[in-house]
Each structure stands twice: as C-alpha cells, then as structure tokens.
C-alpha cells in the first residue's frame, strides 16, 4: 500500500473551501494526514473522527478526497 505524502497548503485550502464542509475539520485532519502509515489507516481514522464529531457528508467527502490525493 502507498505511503501518504504531506498535502500542500493550497491543496488543503481548495478542499476546505468546498460548499457545506466544516472548514476547521478538513484543515485539521488533512494537515496531519501524513502521520498515518497508509491510506487504510487514514480512512479508518476518518471513520472514527467522523462518528465522534458527527461530520456531515460534504466534510467526510472532502477529507476522503484529500486522503486519496495524498496517496497518489
């Protein structure tokens, strides 16, 4: 499985600016996404955090897209 790179600020900003997302949640999660060893772990952490903080669908999608972007 691919390792995760650190996302650029401009990449995070684009995802956090999407309509309906919780900006702070997207920024905070994606700033530290490279701390996960792989995509599977990042997605698992997303699932846990989304449930814990009751994130909406737009926020979860933005973070998922960011994780996938960081794995390319």
What pLDDT, on the 0 to 100 scale, is given for residue 72? Answer: 87
Q: How far apart are CA 25 and CA 13, in angstroms?
A: 12
What pLDDT, on the 0 to 100 scale, is given for residue 40? Answer: 96
pLDDT at 2 over 70: no
pLDDT tens-place string over residues 10-63: 999 999 999 999 999 999 999 999 999 999 999 999 999 999 999 999 999 999
pLDDT level of residue 1 (50, 70, 90 thresholds): low
Ordered by start, the domain boundaries in the chain are 9-70
């Amino acid at each position: 499985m691919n390792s995760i790179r650190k996302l650029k600020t401009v990449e995070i900003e684009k995802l956090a600016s999407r309509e309906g997302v919780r900006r702070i949640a997207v920024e905070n999660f994606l700033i530290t996404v490279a701390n996960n060893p792989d995509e599977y772990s990042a997605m698992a952490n997303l699932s846990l955090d989304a449930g814990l903080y009751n994130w909406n669908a737009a926020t979860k999608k933005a973070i998922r897209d960011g994780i996938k972007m960081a794995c390319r």
